[in-house]
Structure 1
């Protein structure tokens, strides 16, 4: 028995021909569909990159207890379980997050691993005096400062990747194919070919740009923000993304060629998947980190071939998620699933479209909690602020690029073990800076995705909302969610339609206390004000300044904010406030 997982990052399901798209050129994904079982309702779990990968190892939701972080001592890595039972596991990837502070415990779980350098500003080639490239994106100085080093390094790295053969995607897949060439006659191995593309920056060889009538020379870096870029930049970003997807498609074809060449179909499982999607201006958003998790992000492509059943060219409608992949691999290799693993093997769905879960739950740490039954999608907003409700539970306090600061650690306490930590108590650390704040501004959102898959029209139905909340609450209990989350989401009461109506009123009333005596011309300005005073030390004085105005319009709002923070900080502060003024 052998298995290959070909994984991409930020791959959109609805832009593949295999799922009905006619604009993006992806003949090999169509070929893949004909060789595998394609899932229609496959969903993310925890967002974004490393939280998703943690689930692909452990088969447990990450976002209820932790933001971005490493695998920890008590966790069951399916990859390591396979290795311990004599199955050779090999990782080849150009995903630099595995070599950062917040992901450094993943790759040692494999028997061997190979890192392909150069993606997204990877600190690869050493140039002391790097040229600074101003991409002229409409973003605040703080955002530019945060990303400028990565962008400058990216343009240094590109000097060494002028030919397609040197592109990280090419080198990654070729390294995976080399493993297959070397080991196809051996048995009991698992190969993970993990490609960073089509994640930004959209760095695309000219060959694929020409397929869309595009020229080389565009930087390919989107701004993670609301839709504030000019029309030409938006069009180029979308075009470059599609061209990069077509490049991914070409390398899917190379893996399929290897399966055909060595007739791996007789004894080798093939999985082609992604961690999440990516918004390209839909819902007036770009990226995937701070906005509601719309279907362009959440409903992801998933293809699987199981040589035991040899089913090909069929679709499945049953719900499944990333947390189901580890259990599927263990089941395939005849290994027992640890009791802490919540995901379920996909074998029954592959063979008979036999459901293994009634709901899929997903989310960002500290944000709206989301659920779908495959017909309705519900996004439930917090009802209160993050303070005293959101904590990082860990014994390995690392962020994406750094250790936790001493300031963060000064507030930590020791918590009791959770049911899945094998008796290990954890550090309980007040969370800071987890992608945004004031998430309750998005409010509760219910969509009937059978008739509105693009989620353009919210619907009101307290009975359905109540049913989906009860399902969320049950899944939180099954996953031993921290007790404080129940109050954060308003789940610390019996859930029924009347309570939900009361809850809606309580949220409005709590906000009314903070804006008493202040009138705003728009709901967006009100949310900007709430976010502003909640994050300022002299909030009472600021409130008095606002109350002196008869009516707060956009001009007066910006003027009062600038008077409070000063001209030096106004652009950075407004960048954050503009995000908090997005209500959709």
Structure 2
């Protein structure tokens, strides 16, 4: 692709497993571009370093942009290879050495991951000389199950004689340390396979001389806990930094900067405006994001529906839980009434009504329904962290002055995002006016937060008799005495709808998901053992 060509675009995207949030990234430079956008998850750990390394190849979502018009005079004499991401050896190959034929090194044949990249690279090969195009290559890896080939597993040799374990539960860690380490090595092997696939894209950029006029961004949607904070996975715990501070790497041929970092707070909502600006198209009026080189925000809002609502200013992170155990009112607004695995049931529409349009619904009135949450953030309490002094988020702060500043920033962001009044009510924040000291929650919920953070002891550490927390919930509910104990401590287990979902689940297994405090769990175990 020559530098004089008009814009085109390529996107390669992968899912490191689900929701979007705030992350630092490298700002793009100015001047009319040609774009290829790609995003690929491949960081060997779900946690990433702060900022974005321009020209780096280790990351998780890629956007490439090529330049339109001539280059600056001083750029004409720069060697493209000086800023080219350096080859990284995978097995017996480097990115420069291997051929880009589809998975020719895999004796087991192709998998969807490779077929996806085959299709994307075929598009590049076919359209390399065309103008003003955009393609997105989206793959699912790295994602559980951590499936890969022996070639990649051999990069991480370790002794392990336990059960097959490449799909950690969305729960607290209760497995033995060697099993935890095995899962981490399985994940690293999968990341290496993804890294190789990204290398194929980089090779295509070499082959078509795209580094002179193509912008490359690498990032993803979220991380995945591999034992950090005593948890696996995501969504069922607070959104710690390993989950939301995402890798974001940029190569911009207009500036040719490499090896730099930026502390700008950018989010995935900034990608679309960046691409539009790159093609010389104005962003829509309802977009809250901005082109990467122009982003200037005081805070980044992130979270999950019905969970904590979080805000960061780059140094401090404030995780606001609901004000009371009901986690209510919780509403859902949609014009596509479907859950992840099915449509809404008729009963869910019983109280549905058309709401007023939001600032981002283009005048359309969405359905307002009663919402439901995956977790109740009240269990974990409101949390406040200093990422500079405590990057691992292991020592939550109790600082009323700081909390008030972050709470006011949160309220401002909610209003800018046109959050409904019910969200303010759920969080205990005034819908009008600034929050005051009377709205703070960290100190009031501190004991709850401490209890939720306590590791879950092994099952054999708890009392057991004829019944115990290792007995299946249906069996406990079938006996009148144990039923009384269970439903008194955990009233939700009396709900017939929930029982159909639990199967043979035990209270111990539920505790790993619901973060039942260890002291509460011991009280249940003691009462059951005494029957």
Of the candidates 450, 460, 466, which is equivalent to residue 404 of structure 2? 466
- Whether 1:263 and 2:293 are equivalent positions in the alignment is no
- Whether 1:3 and 2:9 are equivalent positions in the alignment is yes
Give the direction of change, closer, same or farther, for the CA distance of 1:36–1:185 in structure 2 (3 Å limit).
farther
Residue 34 of structure 1 deviates from its aligned partner by 5.8
Do the aligned partners of 1:38 and 1:315 also contact (CA within 8 Å) in 2? no
Query: Which SS does the other structure have where 1:393 is aligned?
Result: strand
Residue 560 of structure 1 deviates from its aligned partner by 6.6
Tell me how far apart the structure 1 counterparts of residues 204 and 379 of structure 2 sit (CA, whole Å): 50
- Structure 2 counterparts to residues 514-533 of structure 1, below 5 A: none
- Whether 1:15 and 2:45 are equivalent positions in the alignment is yes
Residue 8 of structure 1 deviates from its aligned partner by 2.6
Aligned to 1:122: none
Do the aligned partners of 1:414 and 1:427 also contact (CA within 8 Å) in 2? yes
Tell me how far apart the structure 2 counterparts of residues 16 and 281 of structure 1 sit (CA, whole Å): 11
Give the direction of change, closer, same or farther, for the CA distance of 1:359–1:564 in structure 2 (3 Å limit).
closer
Tell me how far apart the structure 2 counterparts of residues 458 and 336 of structure 1 sit (CA, whole Å): 42
Do the aligned partners of 2:382 and 2:446 also contact (CA within 8 Å) in 1? no
Do the aligned partners of 1:562 and 1:570 also contact (CA within 8 Å) in 2? no
Aligned to 1:128: none
Tell me how far apart the structure 1 counterparts of residues 54 and 357 of structure 2 sit (CA, whole Å): 47
Give the direction of change, closer, same or farther, for the CA distance of 1:576–1:409 in structure 2 (3 Å limit).
farther
- Structure 2 counterparts to residues 200-211 of structure 1, below 5 A: 200-211=144-155
Deviations 1:93-127 (A, max 9, x none): xxxxxxxxxxxxxxxxxxxxxxxxxxxxxxxxxxx
- Structure 2 counterparts to residues 48-447 of structure 1, below 5 A: 163=107, 165-213=109-157, 218=164, 220-348=166-294, 355-385=295-325, 388-432=328-372, 434-437=373-376, 439-447=377-385
Tell me how far apart the structure 2 counterparts of residues 562 and 484 of structure 1 sit (CA, whole Å): 25
Residue 392 of structure 1 deviates from its aligned partner by 1.2
Give the direction of change, closer, same or farther, for the CA distance of 1:497–1:563 in structure 2 (3 Å limit).
closer
Tell me how far apart the structure 2 counterparts of residues 386 and 17 of structure 1 sit (CA, whole Å): 32
Do the aligned partners of 1:418 and 1:480 also contact (CA within 8 Å) in 2? yes
Tell me how far apart the structure 2 counterparts of residues 387 and 561 of structure 1 sit (CA, whole Å): 17
Residue 423 of structure 1 deviates from its aligned partner by 1.9
Tell me how far apart the structure 2 counterparts of residues 564 and 297 of structure 1 sit (CA, whole Å): 30
Tell me how far apart the structure 1 counterparts of residues 58 and 157 of structure 2 sit (CA, whole Å): 30
Give the direction of change, closer, same or farther, for the CA distance of 1:38–1:345 in structure 2 (3 Å limit).
farther
Do the aligned partners of 1:37 and 1:311 also contact (CA within 8 Å) in 2? no
Aligned to 1:85: none
Residue 267 of structure 1 deviates from its aligned partner by 2.1
Aligned to 1:492: 430
Query: Which SS does the other structure have where 1:454 is aligned?
Result: coil
Do the aligned partners of 1:37 and 1:305 also contact (CA within 8 Å) in 2? no
Tell me how far apart the structure 2 counterparts of residues 563 and 34 of structure 1 sit (CA, whole Å): 50
- Structure 2 counterparts to residues 534-549 of structure 1, below 5 A: none
Unaligned runs of 5+ in 1: 21-31, 43-52, 57-160, 349-354, 512-521, 525-544, 549-555
Unaligned runs of 5+ in 2: 1-6, 17-40, 63-104, 449-453, 457-480, 519-531
TM-score by length of 2: 0.68
Do the aligned partners of 1:201 and 1:220 also contact (CA within 8 Å) in 2? yes
Give the direction of change, closer, same or farther, for the CA distance of 1:386–1:412 in structure 2 (3 Å limit).
farther
> Which of the two has greater helix per residue?
1
Give the direction of change, closer, same or farther, for the CA distance of 1:35–1:292 in structure 2 (3 Å limit).
same
Residue 386 of structure 1 deviates from its aligned partner by 5.0
Give the direction of change, closer, same or farther, for the CA distance of 1:3–1:313 in structure 2 (3 Å limit).
farther
Give the direction of change, closer, same or farther, for the CA distance of 1:163–1:362 in structure 2 (3 Å limit).
farther
Tell me how far apart the structure 2 counterparts of residues 483 and 470 of structure 1 sit (CA, whole Å): 16
Tell me how far apart the structure 2 counterparts of residues 492 and 504 of structure 1 sit (CA, whole Å): 19
**Greater relative CO (CA pairs within 8 A, separation 6+):** 1
TM-score by length of 1: 0.63
Tell me how far apart the structure 2 counterparts of residues 17 and 482 of structure 1 sit (CA, whole Å): 32
Tell me how far apart the structure 2 counterparts of residues 322 and 215 of structure 1 sit (CA, whole Å): 39
Query: Which SS does the other structure have where 1:15 is aligned?
Result: coil
Tell me how far apart the structure 2 counterparts of residues 238 and 443 of structure 1 sit (CA, whole Å): 29
Please tell me whether Structure 1 or Structure 2 has the larger radius of gyration of its CA atoms.
Answer: 2
